Amino acid sequence: MLRTDSSLRTAAPSEAGSLSAVLAAAFEHDPVLGWLIPDGPRRRRRLERFFALELHHVVLPVGRAWTVDGNAGASLELPPSRWRMSLRTQVAHGPAFTRVFGRRLPHAFALITLMEHRHLREPHYYLPYVGVTPDAQGQGLGTTLLRPTLDRCDHERLPAYLEATSERNAALYERLGFEHLGPFQLGTSPPLWPMRRPPSPPAW
């Protein structure tokens, strides 16, 4: 059994490469990313590039990446009002996004736009990606990785927000107190399930 609680910590920027590989493995069969990056010999590498962009240019400059010793999983956290990918970031890294999505780049940007349109507007903590490598799944690591953000939300009396990309993941988030806000999709894309977790009431 993998022990995770004692080694839970925030990742250093130098770990972005290993976390990109971890998240690429965790999301290799994800329906939505599979729609944007179809199967092919370079799919895993393209996923790694995608998560490297997310970590280097979106999450680590303003938020946190939670992981454990050995980097078997990661949970990405963005603080209130810092969840939107700026137009400057999209333009500046357009060539890198093109290497990731290729001809599907217009679909990727359209989906990002739709996700931002549907995004929760009240102050909240955003969890864009939570992933565990296949060989470490089923041991409660995903819940462990989420716990610091959920505890912070409870302490600050703020909700948490995410978009589940499968019914299986949505069921896990429901057990952690997340509530459905209504699914959406872009054209023929698989559905996304936006979910909000209200802060738990204080124990006293």
pLDDT, one tens digit per residue, over 3-46 is 345 589 999 999 999 999 999 999 999 999 999 998 777 899 99
Compute φ and ψ for 73, nearest 5 degrees: -170, 170
Q: Which 8-state DSSP code applies to residue 138?
A: T
The pLDDT of residue 4: 43
Domains and CATH numbers, the chain: 13-197 (3.40.630.30)
Q: Given its phi and psi angles, is residue 192 left (phi above 0), alpha (psi -120 to 50 degrees) or beta?
A: beta
Q: How far apart are CA 148 and CA 77, in angstroms?
A: 10
Q: What pTM did the predictor assign?
A: 0.91
pLDDT, one tens digit per residue, over 135-164 is 888 888 999 999 999 999 999 999 999 999
Beta bridge partners of 10: 66
Quick check: 180 pLDDT over 80? yes
* Mean pLDDT computed over 85-102: 81
Q: Are 132 and 8 in contact (CB under 8 A)?
A: no
Q: pLDDT-based confidence at 83, cuts 50/70/90?
A: confident
The pLDDT of residue 200: 87
